[in-house]
Amino acid sequence: MTYQAPAELVDALRGANKILCVSHINADGDAYGSLLGLMWMLRVVGKQVTPAMPDPVIQEFEFLPGAGEIIPPQAVGAIYDLIVCLDMSSQDRMGAVFDPVRHAGIPLAVIDHHVTNTRFGSVNWVEANCAATCQMLTVLADALDIPIDRQIAVCLLTGIVTDTLCFRTSNTTPDVLEAAMRLQRAGAELPAIVQRTLNRLPFNTLRLWAPVLARVQLREGVVWAGATNAELNAAGHEDDDLRLNSVLSSVNEADMSAVFTEKVNDNGEPVVECSFRAKPGFNVGDLAFRLGGGGHAPASGCTVPGTLDQVIEQVIPMMIEERRRQLDAMS
Ligand SMILES: [Mn+2]
């Protein structure tokens, strides 16, 4: 299958000079990779590009070329010709970067691969069959006649590697491999990117697994585990990812898995970040969407108000019900 960037998007990018690029809260490799990859691409054709993120840059992605240029919400200006929203399924995922009053009237261009995308932009390019937003940007580079240099390639390959868990997800099509091959030929080093992103586990995170895995549960093909905010703080946890998703999603007896991380929001109230995975043939995308989040059939997430216990009590029965429904539909 060949993908094509819509003409309205290409025109919007060509016609703009001062461009704000933004990606989502709780950013991952595809968020950083697409943000910085597009920045370098548009600079090749002389655009004035500012990259912004709602949260501080996490250490894991500081190696990406241009990461030091990412500005926080309070440094974002008011006057841009275009705001490009990357890897973002809904407008609220821009966090405080986007101010509906200050930024009123500025067109939004959405480039995303989430099937749950709400198409909130003035121009929307959503390719739910693409494995990463970074994969879409290789297509956009051609539409804009931008040669992919090493900097661009490193950013884009990082997004593809992280979103496909190194070419292991069910959406790793020949197109994904072709895009990756092209980026590697352009100078991106696959082993170095894998080493810096997927193959890393802080010792504090490993230690946190002990109490968390002691409470792991399996019921009707659903496996789950979660960490309280107190446990996260006590462990001196350096990022917010428990890195347990791939462990739980490999459990033979489970078709769906969930990892819960309890946090405290800006109002001092407990909220729980939920991260879901489904085995091929199962879908956790709809569940996350109903809980106010988003994602894809094999992987999705949401943030639910409440303590760890409250949220598990609310979400797990929904998940079990969802799996039953999907099993029924299969038979
Ligand atoms: Mn993505």
Residues 296 and 325 in one domain: yes
Distance from residue 19's CA to the centre of ligand 1 (Å): 21
Distance from residue 104's CA to the centre of ligand 1 (Å): 26
Q: Is the pLDDT of residue 240 over 70?
A: no
Token pair in block for residue 244: 């347990």
Distance of CA 32 to the CA centre of its chain: 9
Name the domain boundary from 136, 170, 196.
196
Query: Where do runs of H (alpha helix) occur along the chain?
Result: 7-15, 29-44, 133-143, 150-163, 174-185, 190-196, 203-214, 229-234, 245-249, 285-290, 308-330
Q: What percent of the chain has pLDDT over 70?
A: 98
Distance from residue 331's CA to the centre of ligand 1 (Å): 32
Q: What is the per-residue pLDDT across 153-162, written as a single tens digit (0 to 9) for each?
A: 999 999 999 9
Distance from residue 130's CA to the centre of ligand 1 (Å): 9
Residues 62 and 134 in one domain: yes
Distance from residue 59's CA to the centre of ligand 1 (Å): 19
Residues 177 and 38 in one domain: yes
Asked if the structure places residue 185 within a domain, the reply is yes
Tell me the CATH number at 250.
3.10.310.30
Q: Average pLDDT for residues 194-213, to the nearest whole number?
A: 93
Q: What is the pLDDT of residue 134?
A: 98
Q: Is the pLDDT of residue 133 over 80?
A: yes
Distance from residue 158's CA to the centre of ligand 1 (Å): 11
Residues 167 and 210 in one domain: no
Q: How many other CB atoms are there within 10 angstroms of residue 118's CB atom? A: 18
Distance from residue 61's CA to the centre of ligand 1 (Å): 15
Q: What is the pLDDT of residue 323?
A: 98
Nearby residues of 205 by Cβ (< 8 Å), 6 or more positions away: 235, 237, 238, 239, 241, 242, 243
Distance from residue 29's CA to the centre of ligand 1 (Å): 8
Distance from residue 296's CA to the centre of ligand 1 (Å): 9
Q: Average pLDDT for residues 221-242, to the nearest whole number?
A: 86
Q: What is the per-residue pLDDT across 82-92, written as a single tens digit (0 to 9) for each?
A: 999 999 999 99
Q: Which residue has the tokens 């990461």?
A: 67
Distance from residue 112's CA to the centre of ligand 1 (Å): 7
Distance from residue 222's CA to the centre of ligand 1 (Å): 24
Distance from residue 251's CA to the centre of ligand 1 (Å): 24
Distance from residue 31's CA to the centre of ligand 1 (Å): 6
Domain count along the chain: 2
Asked if the structure places residue 138 within a domain, the reply is yes
Asked if the structure places residue 1 within a domain, the reply is no
Distance from residue 162's CA to the centre of ligand 1 (Å): 8
Residues 148 and 41 in one domain: yes
User: pLDDT band at residue 236, thresholds of 50, 70 and 90?
Assistant: confident
Residues 192 and 220 in one domain: no
List the single range of 81-85, 108-112, 165-169 with lowest mean pLDDT: 165-169
Residues 251 and 131 in one domain: no
Answer for the pair 218, 252: CB distance below 8 angstroms, yes or no.
no
Distance from residue 44's CA to the centre of ligand 1 (Å): 24
Distance from residue 43's CA to the centre of ligand 1 (Å): 22
**Per-residue CA distances from 142 to 135, 157, 218 (Å):** 12, 16, 47
Name the domain boundary from 147, 181, 196.
196
Q: What is the pLDDT of residue 237?
A: 62
Distance from residue 86's CA to the centre of ligand 1 (Å): 9
Q: What is the per-residue pLDDT across 1-45, written as a single tens digit (0 to 9) for each?
A: 689 999 999 999 999 999 999 999 989 999 999 999 999 999 999
Q: How far apart are CA 20 and CA 54, in angstroms?
A: 13
List the single range of 54-58, 98-102, 294-298 with lowest mean pLDDT: 294-298
Q: Is the pLDDT of residue 274 over 90?
A: yes
Residues 168 and 212 in one domain: no
Q: Average pLDDT for residues 124-149, to the nearest whole number?
A: 98
Distance from residue 160's CA to the centre of ligand 1 (Å): 8
Q: Is the pLDDT of residue 329 over 90?
A: yes
Name the domain boundary from 196, 221, 250.
196
Q: Average pLDDT for residues 129-136, to the nearest whole number?
A: 97
State the residue range of the domain holding 26.
7-196
Asked if the structure places residue 33 within a domain, the reply is yes
Distance from residue 204's CA to the centre of ligand 1 (Å): 27
Alpha-carbon Rg for the chain in angstroms: 20
pTM of the model: 0.87
Q: What type of residue is 208?
A: L
Asked if the structure places residue 249 within a domain, the reply is yes
Distance from residue 233's CA to the centre of ligand 1 (Å): 28
